[in-house]
Amino acid sequence: LRKEMPKWSQALPELPLLMHDLLRKASRGELAVHWKSADLEKLRGDLRAHHRRLLLAIAGGSLVISAALLMALGAAAQGWLGVPLFSWLSGAAGGALLLMARPGKNSR
């Protein structure tokens, strides 16, 4: 307490002005709190990775469903083994996207 008292006595006259400024900013909605944390940055990166995988899974699933529909409807274009070419392409692209959407080793 003896070591810190001189610092406090120097800062004490500034406290009312600082409190007034803080309250003024808070009442005007100008007060902002900035957090910087390694955990928050890691969480932000994890959320981005999950969002990317979700978009890839949605696109891949949509392409696989469209491939099945093209095959079931018997599209006019001839393909390989009686399956239309567009069905093969859509299914292959959808499968590739679904494989890309799988979580990696470090995702958990």
Are 37 and 95 a contacting pair, CB within 8 Å? no
The string of pLDDT tens digits covering residues 11-67 is 888 888 889 898 888 888 887 777 778 888 888 899 999 999 999 999 999 989 988
The string of pLDDT tens digits covering residues 2-24 is 888 888 888 888 888 889 898 88
Q: Which residues contact 43 (CB under 8 A, 6 or more apart)?
A: none
Predicted model pTM: 0.55
Shortest CA distance to 89 belongs to which of 76, 99, 80, 101? 80
